[in-house]
């Protein structure tokens, strides 16, 4: 392939912003230079590393755009892939829930089939960005062990998170908040919710420990990074650390986040929380954690466009654009064991984004994957 030169750009390096140019060769970053040279003029826009997304439910949103609607999966996968590319995400860990309750409305046992469809679309060369799997293992379920057994080391499972939505703890430690959430989502009355909550609590007491052990064993067997989810207390964080978990998704309290620091866990928070200025479920604010130096990684969660916007928001909190950009590029890449991307440096993948910053809201211009423009 001929060299591609991107010039007249503000290049976001790990510790500084350089006005200069990049040379891309064979899908990699070959050279970084000062000043303007002959090449594709970036118009003074920013060039940053491609965004790395560890936790997004966006694919689920595309396959079920409305309750009871199952959209054709190939079309949903391509739409999801295109949306992420358009928002600067060049590597994604597609979150798929495993562990359901037979007979309960919702997604059911969908992850094994959907992941095979995703693999087929990738093998056909139809995807613009790099896709990996993030299996969200629901401890409070009936089917987790059976569903885990259907996956193996060939499935690109890069991340396994331990989810536990037992009523009365973690994200739903406030039963009143859970009641409002579930009733609003499912349109059920109080008596039906009470029966639902009792059933889930009994299920967790009966199977919770076995499910947790199975998920941890599976992650070790396939070489996936392990994450906790919604840790609320220092004791829960200590337990996660004892299991070798290195990534803490969405701790719900500042106390839990401080405990993550003590145990050397990377803290991931949601971009919507940061952009909105608060958690939608009443938990600790991502901005508050950032101000206390208790935030390492940002995830778009359910709004892909929020990922770059959240980094720009952090740059204002920290007055440090390279540090803020690292929360959506270098740090998640490193946490996932992907050492070939996430930074602009010679020899790394030429996964890049071009964006303008006319105000506090970034404007995406271009996305490049392995030296090829994809959006």
Topology of the domain comprising 50-342: TIM Barrel (3.20.20)
What is the predicted pLDDT for the residue at 194? 73
What is the predicted pLDDT for the residue at 280? 66
Are the CB atoms for 186 and 105 separated by under 8 Å?
A: yes
CA 91 to CA 127: how far, in whole Å? 11
Q: How far is CA 277 from CA 40, 172, 282, 283, in A?
A: 38, 20, 11, 11
328 SS3 class: coil
**Spatial CA neighbour of 57 closest among 330, 370, 277, 306:** 306
Helix axes 111-123, 73-86, angle to 10 degrees: 70
Q: Average pLDDT for consecutive 10-residue bins of the chain (375 residues)? A: 94 98 98 96 98 96 89 97 98 95 70 96 98 95 94 95 79 68 69 76 86 96 95 95 96 96 97 87 88 97 96 97 98 97 98 94 97 98
DSSP 73-84: HHHHHHHHHHHH
Q: Under 8 Å CB-to-CB from 300, ≥6 apart: which residues?
A: 53, 56, 58, 87, 89, 270, 271, 272, 306, 307, 310
What is the predicted pLDDT for the residue at 371? 97
> Where along the chain do its domains lie?
50-342
Cα Rg for the chain, rounded, in angstroms? 21
Structure tokens at 107: 């997604």
Strands (E), 189-345: 225-229, 247-249, 266-270, 297-299
Structure tokens at 160: 């396994």
What is the predicted pLDDT for the residue at 164? 87
What is the predicted pLDDT for the residue at 104? 62
Provide the total of helices (H) and of strands (E) in the chain, helices listed first. 13, 16
DSSP 87-156: TTEEEEEEEEEE---TT-SSS-S-HHHHHHHHHHHHHTT--SSEEEEEEEEESSSSSHHHHHTT--GGG-
- Whole-angstrom distance between the N-terminal and C-terminal Cα of the chain? 20
């Amino acid at each position: 392939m001929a060299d591609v030169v991107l010039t007249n750009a503000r290049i976001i390096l790990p510790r500084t912003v350089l006005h200069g140019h990049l040379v891309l060769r064979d899908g990699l970053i070959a050279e970084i230079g000062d000043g303007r040279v002959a090449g594709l003029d970036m118009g003074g826009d920013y060039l940053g590393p491609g965004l790395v997304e560890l936790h997004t439910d966006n694919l689920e949103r595309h396959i079920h755009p409305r309750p009871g609607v199952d959209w054709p999966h190939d079309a949903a996968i391509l739409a999801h892939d295109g949306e992420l590319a358009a928002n600067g995400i060049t590597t994604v860990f597609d979150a798929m829930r495993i562990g359901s309750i037979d007979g309960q409305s919702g997604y059911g046992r969908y992850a094994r089939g959907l992941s095979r469809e995703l693999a087929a679309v990738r093998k056909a060369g139809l995807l613009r960005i790099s896709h990996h799997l993030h299996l969200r293992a629901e401890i409070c379920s009936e089917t987790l062990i059976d569903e885990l057994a259907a996956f193996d080391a060939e499935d690109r499972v890069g991340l396994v998170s331990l989810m536990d939505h037992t009523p009365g703890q973690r994200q739903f430690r406030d039963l009143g908040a859970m009641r409002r959430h579930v009733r609003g989502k499912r349109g059920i009355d109080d008596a039906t919710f009470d029966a639902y909550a009792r059933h889930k609590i009994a299920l967790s007491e009966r199977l919770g420990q076995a499910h947790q052990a199975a998920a941890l064993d599976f992650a070790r067997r396939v070489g996936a990074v392990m994450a906790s989810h919604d840790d609320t207390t220092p004791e829960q964080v200590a337990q996660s650390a004892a299991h070798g978990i290195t990534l803490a998704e969405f701790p719900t309290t500042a106390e839990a986040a401080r405990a993550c620091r003590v145990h050397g866990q990377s803290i991931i928070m949601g971009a919507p929380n940061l952009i909105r200025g608060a958690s939608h479920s009443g938990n600790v604010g991502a901005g508050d954690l950032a101000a206390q130096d208790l935030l390492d990684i940002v995830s778009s969660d359910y709004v892909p466009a929020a990922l770059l916007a959240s980094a720009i928001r952090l740059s204002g909190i920290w007055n440090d654009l390279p540090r803020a950009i690292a929360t959506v590029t270098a740090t998640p890449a490193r946490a996932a064991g992907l050492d070939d991307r996430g930074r602009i440096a010679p020899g790394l993948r030429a996964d890049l984004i071009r964006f303008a910053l006319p105000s506090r809201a970034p404007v995406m211009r271009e996305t490049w994957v392995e030296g090829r423009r994809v959006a």
